Structure 1
């Protein structure tokens, strides 16, 4: 949240140059406050885990947030009960006449398929098209980020020689952009995916900014210049044990997979991994909610 200070206070100019969010008395007096309405399209197979991870980050701000969970009508989830979906979720047809302050589209385990081969792709494109006029800002995660880059900006994904799996260091390229306010120059983030997008295509696209990337893991944070779409190719929402659980699951399934990089101490899967990305995950979601949703969304949708 911003600090409210007199408009002529000398410190104001210094703080603004340091990218600190300040608000003067005049704006503070006219600012209306209401809860934010966020819709989450949860495409993850283990929906309850994804719910917890996202809500933990959305709930760690002073802003009141109302959540609507969405599932696809054209795909039957196998890892969650019908009772859970009926009780806590709805479908796009029931909310498409509403407007939301923010939207999150999660990852999904379909990344090696062509987008058009995914059985809910048509439904997803309808939702993404709807979001252009009915959502203030959308946050896209992992495969959801690749889907957004493809649908909105024509950027294709490509398959990697081996899975990008581990905790990687990323460098901030535009430190004055509000989404990365408070970030360290270099920070860690988890990745778990078989595909990637070309860095050069993002750099050359007139509507996109590459905010952070890794020499090992490629692009991580991408934002559209109108701030309508934010793409995260990794999983900052992951808990400490998530990569370990995925790794052990793949081993049990007989998948030839390498140990997650820079994750287990001494690359020993029997040792407890350390969480080195938690603070930046909270900061990213807080910045998104504050600067791209709360500060930008209309008080009353017309």
Structure 2
């Protein structure tokens, strides 16, 4: 599937493809070809498409973007999600038949004890090796970032004592074109059970760009023929993404599909909502049943989460890098 995007094209569904004749090319604009390798779990599959498409649209400026969707065929899917991928996505073999300026690769929900035991591991490592020399830059998001550094440098992720889940203030720790004009602090969504230690990254030659005092390393990079950009967080998440994950985990707890009740996302719900959710947790521990989800209180987010502001800056700078070609010095002027 190829979707042509410009900043004036409304995006209501990933399946709606505007005709090429409907897109006005602005003077001085460039065209970029970007692929999304969407390996997110089935419930987040379509939301991830929309999030990245809207980000690219908002960041595109005068550029026109040809946006192709792919998914690793070895990622296990429900019949409904598999039908969506087969009918709306391009075959992964098409990736190697075209020139891509940039790739965005997402993680998949883990099902094996170790990353290199996942059923999609071979497909993913082949993609990593291909992207090193066949793109100008590739973004590796969350679990995909952990998998990439494991394959590239045998850097092992470390399990966290509790899930890192919420909105975290991240600070730029070095000057880089990717974070130019970004808000300070960058408020970034994180949702993970593991982390990559900054000391391991620095020792292996990676450059850390942003970090959080509470969540650790946020964004880091490494230069090959392609510039690899790694996000431990999810800057693409919209305002309700963490809420959807939290409610999903509550549902799994009530259905006895997980043992532990999920922690509240950090700096996400307002104080009144947090109080209501604490009371609901106590009730859920005593009356553990799927029907109890119908008694969840109304949820209100904090007013200062600034969803999307960090992503807008990062992706605008990333597209500028792609548009400038491989000479990153153009961006540093």
Cα displacement (A) at 1:47: 1.3
Match of 2:268 among 249, 263, 267: 263
Q: Name the CA shift for 1:276/1:39 in 2 (closer, same or farther; >3 Å).
A: same
Give the whole-Å Cα distance in 1 for the aligned partners of 2:105 and 2:176.
22
Which one of 301, 305, 308 corresponds to residue 273 of structure 1? 301
Report the alpha carbon displacement of residue 48 of structure 1 after superposing the two structures with TM: 0.7
Runs of 5+ unmatched residues, structure 1: 1-30
Q: Check conservation: 2:183, 2:309, Cα contact below 8 A.
A: no
Runs of 4+ with >3 A deviation: 31-34, 79-83, 268-271
Trace 1:170-209 onto structure 2 (pairs within 5 A).
170-174=170-174, 176-206=175-205, 208-209=206-207
What is the match of residue 294 of structure 1? 323
Q: Structure 1 residue 278: deviation in Å?
A: 1.6
Structure-2 change in CA distance of 1:194 and 1:141 (3 Å) = same
SS of 1:59's equivalent?
Answer: helix
Q: Is contact 1:112-1:194 (8 Å) kept?
A: no
1:4 is matched with none
TM-score (norm 1): 0.82
Q: CA deviation at 1:68?
A: 1.0
Structure 1 stretch 216-225 or stretch 149-158: which is displaced more? 149-158
Q: Secondary structure at the match of 1:202?
A: helix
**Which has the larger share of strand?**
1
Matching residue of 2:72: 72
Corresponding residue for 1:284?
Answer: 314
User: What's the counterpart of residue 211 of structure 1?
Assistant: 209
Structure 2: how far apart are the matches of 1:82 and 1:212?
36
Judged with a 3 Å threshold, the aligned counterparts in structure 2 of structure 1 residues 111 and 165 are, in CA distance, closer, same or farther, namely farther
SS at match of 1:224: strand
Q: 1:224: which partner in 2? A: 222
Shift of 1:259: 0.5
Given that residues 92 and 127 in structure 1 are in contact (C-alpha distance below 8 angstroms), is that contact kept between their aligned partners in structure 2? Answer: no
Alpha carbons of structure 1 residues 74 and 112: separation in structure 2 relative to 1, 3 Å:
closer
**Where do 5+ consecutive residues of structure 2 fail to align?**
1-26, 278-297, 328-333
Alignment of 1:40 onto 2:42: no
